[in-house]
């Protein structure tokens, strides 16, 4: 019986495992192997070149620019969108007037394709013509701005777009967690005469910690994964000021066809993702109150 059980187990599992290994584990391992080989060209197959790709990586200025951009993109989007998501969830979960409409407004960007979002915001940012310049010109009489054409402002402009797209999504998770907090706690706090702010700070936020961990892991992954908007808005420019790591991988592999080097870049991405995921786990572990 027990023996038959595990044959069935494997039988049910195998179709999914075949696809999972073919398109996730095999390519992940192969990425690491490819990063030590040159790019195959025409009839010349890839040949082993040791750490040469990694040496090129260290000397590649674009790589460091892109990495720095990705860092600032993550720093710019993650805390802000988590804080906004928490505020949104608290408001929507309260009894304030108009909360249904607010929930709709907060969540709508989540169902839009990022590529559509980028189109909408591109129009917003259009120099001299988009809504932002209309407001600047109309209200403050300022000259036309070119937020996307200026290396100093382009990344900030992209961060705003990412926050707009993501915050409503994270709100949902907080909303779910808030609804699972027993109302008795609020009553007890009221009886003790605790202020709303005290209740929020000492009871609600600690109870939300597991959700915050979940959201922040998601947010970190997203800060590497979301690059669709770059294609529409800037193509990485000006002067790579808005290029992110995954976009650079795409460019290297599918525009310059340097697949060996692209594999090396992907390895960097895999390492960063692992470190961040593990790091977050340990960072939050001490602050989480499991029930």
Partner 1 sequence: MTETTVNTVNKKNLGRRFEFKFDFDTVLNTFAMWLLAFLWALPLLYAIWTAFHPAAYETRFELFAPLTLDNFVKAWNAAPFARYFLNTFLLVTLILTSQFVLCTLAAFAFARFKFPGRNILFTLVLLQLLVMPDILIVENYKTIRQLGLVDTIVAIGLPYIASGFGIFLLRQTFMTVPSELDDAARVEGVSFLGLLLKVYVPLAKPTYLAYGLVSVSHHWNNFLWPLIITNSVETRPVTVGLSVFAAIDAGVEWSVINAATLMTSGPLLIAFLLFQRQFVQSFMRAGIR
We find the least distance from the C-beta atom of residue 238 to partner 1, in angstroms, to be 17
Q: Select 10 or 71, whichever has its Cβ closest to partner 1.
A: 10
Quote the least distance from Cβ 233 to partner 1, whole Å.
11
Find, among 126, 116, 117, 120, the residue nearest to 148 by Cα. Answer: 126
CB of 150 to partner 1, least distance (A): 19
* Beta carbon of residue 173, minimum distance to partner 1 (angstroms, whole number): 5
User: Which single residue is written with the structure tokens 């990495």?
Assistant: 67
Minimum distance, C-beta of residue 55 to partner 1, in the bound complex (Å): 20
Rounded CA-CA distance 291/89 in Å is 21
- Tally of CB atoms within 10 A around 16: 9
Residue with smaller CB distance to partner 1, 54 or 231: 231
CB closer to partner 1, 61 vs 255: 255
CB-nearer residue toward partner 1: 155 or 261: 261
* Token duo for residue 240: 């790579």
- Compute the least distance from the CB of residue 183 to partner 1, in Å: 5
Report the DSSP beta bridge partners of residue 44: 41
By beta-carbon proximity to partner 1, the closer residue of 62 and 232 is 232
Burial of 56 by CB count in 10 Å (0-12 exposed, 13-18 middle, 19+ buried)?
Answer: middle
Which of residues 92 and 155 has its CB atom nearest to partner 1 in the complex? 92
Element (H, E) at 134: helix 131-140
Instruction: Give residues with Cβ within 8 angstroms of 50, minimum separation 6.
Output: 36
- Residue 78's Cβ-side half-sphere holds a number of Cα atoms within 13 Å equal to 21
On whether the CB atoms of residues 170 and 85 are closer than 8 A, the answer is yes
């Amino acid at each position: 019986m027990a023996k038959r059980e595990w044959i069935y187990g494997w039988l049910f599992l195998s179709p999914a495992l075949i696809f999972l290994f073919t398109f996730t584990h095999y390519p992940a391992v192969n990425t690491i192997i490819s990063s030590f080989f040159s790019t195959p060209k025409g009839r010349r197959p890839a040949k082993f070149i040791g750490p040469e790709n990694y040496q090129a990586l260290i000397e590649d200025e674009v790589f460091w620019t892109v990495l720095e951009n990705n860092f600032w993109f993550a720093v710019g989007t993650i805390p802000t969108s988590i804080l906004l998501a928490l505020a949104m969830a608290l408001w929507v979960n309260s009894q304030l007037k108009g909360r249904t409409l607010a929930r709709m407004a907060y969540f709508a960007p989540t169902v839009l394709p990022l590529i559509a979002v980028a189109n909408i915001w591109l129009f917003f940012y259009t120099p001299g013509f988009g809504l932002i310049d209309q407001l600047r010109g109309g209200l403050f009489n300022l000259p036309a701005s070119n937020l996307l054409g200026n290396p100093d402002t382009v990344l900030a402009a992209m961060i705003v777009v990412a926050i707009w797209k993501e915050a409503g999504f994270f709100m949902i998770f907080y909303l779910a967690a808030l609804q699972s907090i027993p109302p008795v706690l609020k009553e007890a706090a009221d009886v003790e005469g605790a202020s709303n702010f005290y209740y929020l700070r000492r009871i609600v936020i600690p109870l939300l910690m597991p959700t915050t961990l979940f959201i922040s892991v998601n947010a970190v992954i997203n800060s590497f994964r979301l690059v669709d908007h770059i294609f529409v808005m800037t193509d990485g420019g000006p002067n790579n000021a808005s290029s992110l790591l995954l976009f650079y991988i795409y460019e290297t592999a599918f525009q310059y066809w340097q697949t060996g080097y692209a594999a090396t870049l992907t390895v960097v991405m895999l390492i960063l993702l692992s470190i961040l995921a593990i790091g977050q786990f340990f960072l939050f572990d001490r602050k989480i109150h499991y029930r």
